Structure 1
Amino acid sequence: MSKVVSVHSFRGGTGKSNVTANLATILARSGKRVGIVDTDIQSPGIHVLFGLDEKKIGYTLNDYLWGRCAIEQAAYDVSQTVKIKPKPFGLSGAIYLIPSSIKTGEISRILREGYDARLLNDGFCNLTRRLKLDYLFIDTHPGINEETLLSIIISNILIVILRPDHQDYQGTAVAVDVARKLDVPNIMLVVNKALPKLNFQALRQQVKSAYGATVAGVLPVCEEMFQLGSSDIFSLRYPDHAWTQEVHAIAKQLVQIK
């Protein structure tokens, strides 16, 4: 049975898409079939991390929501980008990305007209079934809105990304409270962009006590991430980096959730 994983943050700039892309990549390279849907329709961008050329993108999530295509027609196989090598007997993993449109007119139309957010739920179900996915990652729009709520409702796992910042702490409290009211089975917190000089163990305990939720990982802020500039998947470029090792630990926790 496939697992739906929503990755959320209350504010932008937390590194949510980077964490999503790297978790999905690690799972796919371990042999899992993984999908990613960019539901941050107002400010899409996760496709950049996978080197998906905008000029080669035909259908997008927007087209599905407007009835122009089936959801799987907007899914792009980026397995070669993350260096997944085919294996015999169908044992190799795969990763599919459903991007949102970056065209100004289509983003404006979404903002102006909206869409039936319930179609997202139908699309997620069809996608996991037709592509035989083990995991479906939903890269959500920051904050709380209708599509975010619908994504959270159908999720087996909610990962909330936060920075060690007081505004993030307050917003995360709202997100965790909403998830609990919606009976999300598994809530995981990931602290990102933590200064290396901080006591990570103390920070982990502080966040755990504040929200009463599992802290799946604490990721350090690092110069290499800024140098990379979203031009590649960090865990592929820096496989031995402390950031990468912590993301591997988070992925392992996802696999252990039944």
Structure 2
Amino acid sequence: MGVIDTDIQSPGIHVLFGMDEEQIDKSLNDYLWGRCNIEDTAYNVSARIGKGEVIVMGADIFLIPSSIRAGEIARVLREGYDVSMLNEGFRALVKRLKLDYLVIDTHPGLNEETLLSIAISDILFIILRPDQQDFQGTAVTVDVARKLEVPHLYLVINKALSSYDFADLKKRAEQIYDSPVAAILPLSEDVARLQSTDIFSLRFPDHPVSAAIRQIVGYVEAIGQ
């Protein structure tokens, strides 16, 4: 499996795998600017996973990070890049690393690379919070995804207060967007307390947040069968 951070303006997934600037020799930015092949930016992070209560068994997990160097981020904002190279890179990663799945993390909202990622995805999970601002913004994203004919579209409601009626929240969201809710993640101090220093669901497999994440995985596995 591969995980690629396309949030080039504000990357962050590398933190979950315990990687810092000194450990990232080549990043997605280097590929987009023609400095290397896309597979050269892939880091096998399998050994960094499984230090909690659960050990991940099976195939390798590759992380393709975006650069966290201030100068590189500033260059993206100033000069941009050829977004079409992302599409080529995604397909090359799947082929050359023999990936079963490629998880694409995008920048919040809609921009050119997000639209491309949506357009080529087999499965799209749209994460939203249960507030009016997110509900309105999500409506636009859902509409765009439908126009791009994404095969499988799901909603994931994040940071839901424990006082909410989750069944009612799920029903309302599905009625508003005419899309299934894959999971509702409760607002959790435990997640905040971990401070992104580890994969939460591996450290705390019996936590309600981890249970919700397994629901999401279940949808992916069902489609892949």
TM range, smaller chain? over 0.9
1:67 aligned residue (34, 57, 68): 34
Where in structure 2 are the equivalents of 1:159-174 lying within 5 Å?
159-174=125-140
1:249 corresponds in structure 2 to 215
Where in structure 2 are the equivalents of 1:107-122 lying within 5 Å?
107-122=73-88
Q: Distance in 2 between matches of 1:223 and 1:254?
A: 27
Task: After TM superposition, give the deviation of residue 246 of structure 1 in Å.
Answer: 1.1
Where in structure 2 are the equivalents of 1:1-258 lying within 5 Å?
34-83=1-50, 92-258=58-224
Q: Distance in 2 between matches of 1:39 and 1:53?
A: 17
Q: Distance in 2 between matches of 1:81 and 1:117?
A: 30
TM-score by length of 2: 0.96
Q: Distance in 2 between matches of 1:237 and 1:219?
A: 16
Task: After TM superposition, give the deviation of residue 93 of structure 1 in Å.
Answer: 1.9
Q: Distance in 1 between matches of 2:67 and 2:89?
A: 16
Task: After TM superposition, give the deviation of residue 85 of structure 1 in Å.
Answer: 6.2
Contact 2:21–2:69 (CA under 8 A) maintained in structure 1: no
Task: After TM superposition, give the deviation of residue 109 of structure 1 in Å.
Answer: 0.5
Other structure's SS at 2:87 match: helix
Aligned residues: 220
Contact 2:11–2:65 (CA under 8 A) maintained in structure 1: yes
Other structure's SS at 1:62 match: helix
Other structure's SS at 1:80 match: helix
Q: Distance in 2 between matches of 1:118 and 1:230?
A: 31
Task: After TM superposition, give the deviation of residue 249 of structure 1 in Å.
Answer: 1.3
1:70-116 CA-to-partner distances (Å, cap 9, x unmatched) read 00100000011112566xxxxx2221000000111110110111000
Runs of 4+ in 1 over 4 A off after TM superposition: none
Q: Distance in 2 between matches of 1:56 and 1:169?
A: 38
Contact 2:201–2:210 (CA under 8 A) maintained in structure 1: yes
1:18-73 CA-to-partner distances (Å, cap 9, x unmatched) read xxxxxxxxxxxxxxxx1011000000011001111321110000000000010010
Other structure's SS at 2:75 match: helix
Q: Distance in 1 between matches of 2:59 and 2:156?
A: 25
1:186-245 CA-to-partner distances (Å, cap 9, x unmatched) read 101000100011110110001000000010000101110110011111001111001101
Instruction: Give the partner amino acid of 1:129.
Output: K
Task: After TM superposition, give the deviation of residue 172 of structure 1 in Å.
Answer: 0.2
Q: Distance in 2 between matches of 1:115 and 1:253?
A: 34
Other structure's SS at 2:4 match: strand
Q: Distance in 1 between matches of 2:196 and 2:152?
A: 29
* 5+ residue gaps, structure 2: none
1:131-152 CA-to-partner distances (Å, cap 9, x unmatched) read 1111101100111111111111
Contact 2:26–2:40 (CA under 8 A) maintained in structure 1: yes
